[in-house]
């Protein structure tokens, strides 16, 4: 199954600029980890208003929740996310198959 994960800007009271900077570094490490595992299909940012999205391949929404809870942007309260099941149409399935060179799932 595929899951669309949308991040929205949200900064908790008391989060410093240094913490945001460190969280972004950790976020990029998070993205790299799940790309290498094969469970993060692709991701991108919304340059006009912050936040962004990811497309995950996983067995369940709980598996995706387990993955994203490791992202510093979320656990430090800098962003919030929603996770939505995603059913690709034929053209999207073709693109996903190009990226999907592994059967890895969120662990």
34-90 pLDDT, tens digit per residue, is 999 989 988 988 887 778 999 999 999 999 999 999 999 998 888 899 999 988 777
Q: Rounded distance, CA 20 to CA 63, Å?
A: 26
pLDDT of 103: 46
Q: Rounded distance, CA 20 to CA 37, Å?
A: 25
Tell me the chain's radius of gyration from C-alpha atoms: 14
Asked if 53 and 6 touch (Cβ cutoff 8 Å), the reply is yes
Question: Residue 30: is its pLDDT beyond 90?
Answer: yes
Kindly report the pTM of this predicted structure.
Answer: 0.77
Asked if 2 and 87 touch (Cβ cutoff 8 Å), the reply is yes
Cβ neighbours for 101, distance < 8 A, ≥ 6 positions apart: 38
Q: Rounded distance, CA 38 to CA 40, Å?
A: 6
Question: Residue 106: is its pLDDT beyond 60?
Answer: no
């Amino acid at each position: 199954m595929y899951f669309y994960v949308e991040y929205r800007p949200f900064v908790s009271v008391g989060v410093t600029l240094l913490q945001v900077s460190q969280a972004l570094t950790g976020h990029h490490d998070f993205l790299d980890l799940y790309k290498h595992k094969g469970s993060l299909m692709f991701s991108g940012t919304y340059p006009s208003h912050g936040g962004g999205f990811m497309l995950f391949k996983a067995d369940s929404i709980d598996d995706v929740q387990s993955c994203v809870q490791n992202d510093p942007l979320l656990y430090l309260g800098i962003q919030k996310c929603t996770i939505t099941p995603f059913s690709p149409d034929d053209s999207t399935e073709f693109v996903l198959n190009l990226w999907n060179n592994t059967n890895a799932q969120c662990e």
